[in-house]
Structure 1
């Protein structure tokens, strides 16, 4: 049984520490600041350094990542040199068989003390190019081989994480949950899915693209359960608490 409180990382409690990965997408300054202050370790992928410098142009010295990694085909050379001069660790990852996110995630998992954090949060996981969004989702499947910590993909309005096969209890009691959620069978069909706590529950049903997928669903109970024979992507909207 896996127990997860998917939106806990958005709460103000100082005890809910995270590892933060900044991806190369436009950043919201308030959300980025909030997540940064909750982070035990921060990393940026390649072109994400351009985004950081853009939103923190007046006080970028206060937001120095611990690690910058990537093949550096997107990072502005001047910005990269700035961070290098600030003694930020620069880790070249030229391997083209994996995305910058996957490679950065592997580095973070190697450096992280899993006892001190409760999740890894990737900011900028959605939006923009569809192939990039799908690649980020694919990285969630790779992540389960790197760490037992949940990895959350975050955009300005939604969160997603991978539920592996088995039984899950999701506590949706933060008060930040939005008015929609979804369970998506990405990767392969799931032949046996049962849920409770949703407006449209499933009872030992099959989910597959071209058949049934659960989108535009909603949470009706603070405790949601999911029992699945294959991995499913859980996604939920959230309300701004900033």
Structure 2
């Protein structure tokens, strides 16, 4: 499996967690999305690409990368039809990146988080593994079944939500709260905060798209999660 590409966006960036991911040997390509560039500048990390409208990034930082480095920069009009994170993900797809982790996609703004979750659908349609990540949460979209293994799990909890309407014949096996041939709807919280009952949990459904959130109350180091991304 190819190494990961990391998008550094402008939301919550937990310093130690983010630095460990960026400096890991499993990270081979870094894209700064607007305000995420500030974090990279402050930690003297050179990205491979910079995108955004830069309405929330000091001009002197953008000028530094423009004048003192050879990093390609794509600047967009602030009045645009896509978020900076979406633009960064589209760039990754354009460049043929196959495994993308988005940092700084969570934080105080629930609207920004939800927009970033929806943006993952671009990667899903392109057959690219893209995930939103912070030290407590890993979020990805699925259009087919998956097997979760306890020893490789991001955390002890997982939740599933339909993305684009109801999902029929939805099954969860090996979990504390199993489901059999269930009609998964957007109108209840039935599939929130499930847990492993066996060493493997199998999630299956014939059609549709779902959001899979793997969560925990106590974060691990990024190094301890290395196997999740390779």
* TM-score higher than 0.5: yes
Residues 1:143 and 2:126 aligned together: no
TM-score normalised according to structure 1 size = 0.81
Could you tell me how far 1:152 is from its partner in structure 2? 0.7
Q: Residue 203 and residue 212 in structure 1: after superposition, are their counterparts in 2 closer, same or farther (change >3 A)?
A: farther
Q: Residue 88 and residue 234 in structure 1: after superposition, are their counterparts in 2 closer, same or farther (change >3 A)?
A: same
Matching residue of 1:103: 87
1:120–1:152 Cα contact (<8 Å) kept: yes
Question: Paired residue for 1:128, among 95, 108, 118?
Answer: 108
The unaligned stretches of length 5 or more in structure 2 are 223-230
Could you tell me how far 1:170 is from its partner in structure 2? 2.9
Deviations 1:87-142 (A, max 9, x none): 2211123372222111111111222454xxxx210012222111100000110112
Residues 1:68 and 2:50 aligned together: yes
Secondary structure in 2 aligned to 1:178? Answer: coil
Residues 1:82 and 2:82 aligned together: no
Matching residue of 1:167: 145
Q: Following the alignment from structure 1 to structure 2, what is the Cα–Cα distance between the partners of residues 149 and 74?
A: 29
* Range moving further from structure 2, 229-238 or 127-136: 229-238
Q: Following the alignment from structure 2 to structure 1, what is the Cα–Cα distance between the partners of residues 107 and 172?
A: 28
Q: Following the alignment from structure 1 to structure 2, what is the Cα–Cα distance between the partners of residues 66 and 195?
A: 40
Secondary structure in 2 aligned to 1:204? Answer: strand
2:86–2:119 Cα contact (<8 Å) kept: yes
Q: Following the alignment from structure 1 to structure 2, what is the Cα–Cα distance between the partners of residues 194 and 105?
A: 31
Matching residue of 2:226: none
Segments of 4+ in structure 1 off by > 4 A? none
Residues 1:154 and 2:138 aligned together: no
Q: Following the alignment from structure 2 to structure 1, what is the Cα–Cα distance between the partners of residues 97 and 130?
A: 15
2:138–2:154 Cα contact (<8 Å) kept: no
Question: Paired residue for 1:39, among 9, 17, 27?
Answer: 27
Alignment map for 1:1-242 (pairs within 5 Å): 17-36=3-22, 37=24, 38-54=26-42, 56=43, 60=44, 63-84=45-66, 85-94=68-77, 96-112=80-96, 114=98, 119-145=99-125, 147-164=126-143, 166-174=144-152, 177-228=154-205, 229-238=207-216, 239-242=219-222
Q: Residue 26 and residue 127 in structure 1: after superposition, are their counterparts in 2 closer, same or farther (change >3 A)?
A: closer
Could you tell me how far 1:186 is from its partner in structure 2? 2.6
Could you tell me how far 1:82 is from its partner in structure 2? 1.4
* Range moving further from structure 2, 102-111 or 204-213: 204-213
Root-mean-square deviation (Å): 2.0
Q: Residue 206 and residue 237 in structure 1: after superposition, are their counterparts in 2 closer, same or farther (change >3 A)?
A: same
